[in-house]
Amino acid sequence: MKKIVVFLLFSISLFAQEKNLKELTFNEYLGFVKKYHPLVKQANLKLNEAQASLMQARGAFDPKIEVDFNEKQFKDSQYFSILNSSFKIPTWYGIELKAGFNNAEGIYLNPENTLPNSGLTSFGITVPVGQGLFINQRMADIRKAKIAINLNAAERNLEAIEVIYEASVSYMNWKRSYEEVKLYETYLENAIIRYNGISKLIEQGDKPAIDSIEAGITLKTRRLNLEDARLKLTKAKLDLSNYLWLEDNIPLELNDDLQPENELSKTIRETLQINELGEIDLNNHPKIQALDSKINMLKIEKNLKANSILPKLDLSYNYLSEPSYIDNYRFEDYKIGINFSFPLFLRKERGGLKLANLKIQDAEFGLQFERKSLENKIKAQQQEITSIQTQREYNGRLVKDFSTLLNSEERLFEMGESSLFLINSRENSLVSSKINDIALENRYLNAVIGLYKTLANP
| Confidence band, pLDDT 50/70/90 cuts, at residue 8 | very low
The answer, yes or no, to whether residue 196 has pLDDT greater than 50, is yes
Q: What are phi and psi of 124, to 5 degrees?
A: -145, 175
Give the three-class secondary structure for 76: coil
pLDDT digits (tens, 9 = 90+) for 15-71: 333 445 688 999 999 998 988 888 888 888 888 888 888 888 888 889 999 999 998
Write down the pLDDT at residue 5.
33
CA distance 153 to 285: 11
pLDDT digits (tens, 9 = 90+) for 100-124: 999 988 888 888 888 888 888 999 9
Instruction: Assess contact for 212 and 195: CB atoms under 8 A.
Output: yes
Write down the pLDDT at residue 326.
57
pLDDT digits (tens, 9 = 90+) for 351-390: 999 999 999 999 999 999 999 999 999 999 999 999 999 9
pLDDT digits (tens, 9 = 90+) for 405-428: 999 988 888 787 878 888 888 999
Average confidence (pLDDT) over 212-230: 91
Quote the DSSP letter at residue 120.
E
Q: Which amino acid is at 14?
A: L
Instruction: Assess contact for 136 and 94: CB atoms under 8 A.
Output: yes
Residue 88 Cα distances to 59, 99, 322, 338, angstroms: 13, 7, 19, 19
Closest CA to 227 of 279, 165, 184, 283: 184
The answer, yes or no, to whether residue 14 has pLDDT greater than 60, is no
Write down the pLDDT at residue 18.
43
Q: Which helix (H) or strand (E) holds 304?
A: helix 286-307
Write down the pLDDT at residue 3.
40
Write down the pLDDT at residue 458.
57
pLDDT digits (tens, 9 = 90+) for 132-183: 888 888 899 999 999 999 999 999 999 999 999 999 999 999 999 999 999 9
- Tell me the CATH number for domain 2-58+138-301+350-455: 1.20.1600.10
The answer, yes or no, to whether residue 236 has pLDDT greater than 60, is yes
DSSP string, 178-236: HHHHHHHHHHHHHHHHHHHHHHHHHHTTSS-THHHHHHHHHHHHHHHHHHHHHHHHHHH
pTM of the entire predicted model: 0.83
Write down the pLDDT at residue 1.
34
| Confidence band, pLDDT 50/70/90 cuts, at residue 11 | very low
Per cent of the chain over pLDDT 70 is 93
